Amino acid sequence: MTVLAVADHRRGELRDVSFELLTAGRELADAADTELHVAVVSGETETFADELNREGVDAVHTVDYGEEFNHDVYAQAVTALTEDLDAEFLLVPNSVNGLDYAPAVATRLDRPYASDAVGLAYDGTLEVTREMYGSKVETTVDVTEGPYVVSIRSGEWPPAEGVGEAEISAFDFAPDEDAIGSTVRGFEEVGGGDVDISDADFLVSIGRGIEEEENLPLVEALVEATGATLSSSRPIVDNEWLPKNRQVGQSGKHVTPDVYLAIGISGAVQHVAGMKGAETIIAINTDPNAPIFDIADYGVVGDLFEVVPALIEEFGGEPPSV
């Protein structure tokens, strides 16, 4: 019956969703009364395997091959391991990587594939909750016949904690080299340097309430005074005031910081879809009826041009004149 979760990593680090995957996998394993196994495919599996050995994990499998993500390697390795374990449930992150190989594995194994799951339940039939129409409605999909392949959305499950006692074993995998059609030749960062807002603990996020690009230094001064990372809603990116990799939301990044400070952001569903997993949400908005206040833990109904300078001073910074 086994649940097999496949971890995601990038540039030498496991991504947060890998640990969320373990929580989702454990829940599913409990419902199906079975074991949770986790796999990592990489040339550097040793540290990854130790990190993935969290409470609730029954076995860790390493596939020692390659450096960075490669479609053909993952498709082959994950297919082989799923078959070897006879895993009933294959769980992968709904990330760029997961979305790349999960359909290929599902096709090879002739299994149904449910993507972008935000909830899972199992009582002999797998029920997958998904969001539709820009997160305006939730749908549940009954996947009546297993075995299954499911990709899960990041930020929907808490990360697994604690140190586990699972056995770590290397899976004997020799890829068909002739079937590897691509190689990664290098990486080029997109605009915005190497900032990855999905890794930040404290995000200060700016929206259309900032009015003009000339006013951005005000928020940047707050970012500097607090040691936060700057992110934004989509209109800021559409206006090209900030690069695309700073956008939070449905068509941007999913973030799960400890603190998300939303300044001049209304809280449209497409924005909320990307940040509702934040531990603590704080909002500053002139409109007391702005939807962002529905999900905020703390809120300031006020003008950002008055509140932000006061905050900068509170943190020992100096507000610029905008």
Q: Which parts of this chain interact with ligand FAD (CB under 6 A)?
A: 134, 207-209, 233-235, 247-252, 264-266, 268, 270-271, 274, 284-287, 290, 303-305
Nearer to ligand FAD, 119 or 302 (CB): 302
Tell me how many degrees the CA angle 214-203-247 measures, rounded to the nearest 5.
Answer: 65
Quick count: other Cβ atoms within 10 Å of Cβ 145?
Answer: 10
| Closest chain position to ligand FAD (CB) | 249
10 Å CB burial of residue 186 (0-12, 13-18, 19+) is exposed
Nearer to ligand FAD, 130 or 208 (CB): 208
CA distances from 308 to 207, 222, 225, 235, 265 (A): 13, 7, 11, 20, 14
Distance CA 308, CA 322 (A): 12
Nearer to ligand FAD, 25 or 274 (CB): 274
Nearer to ligand FAD, 49 or 262 (CB): 262
Q: How far is the CB of 237 from ligand FAD (least distance, A)?
A: 8
Q: How far is the CB of 210 from ligand FAD (least distance, A)?
A: 8
Q: How far is the CB of 127 from ligand FAD (least distance, A)?
A: 26
Q: How far is the CB of 150 from ligand FAD (least distance, A)?
A: 23
Tell me how many degrees the CA angle 83-157-155 measures, rounded to the nearest 5.
Answer: 105
Nearer to ligand FAD, 25 or 252 (CB): 252
Distance CA 205, CA 252 (A): 13
Q: Which of 110, 3, 15 lies closest to 69 in space, CA to CA?
A: 15
Q: For 133, how many CA atoms within 13 A lie in the half-sphere containing its CB?
A: 4
Which residues, including other chains, have CB under 8 Å from residue 238's CB and lie 6 or more apart? Answer: none
Q: How far is the CB of 117 from ligand FAD (least distance, A)?
A: 19
Distance CA 39, CA 101 (A): 14
Q: How far is the CB of 192 from ligand FAD (least distance, A)?
A: 16
Nearer to ligand FAD, 60 or 262 (CB): 262
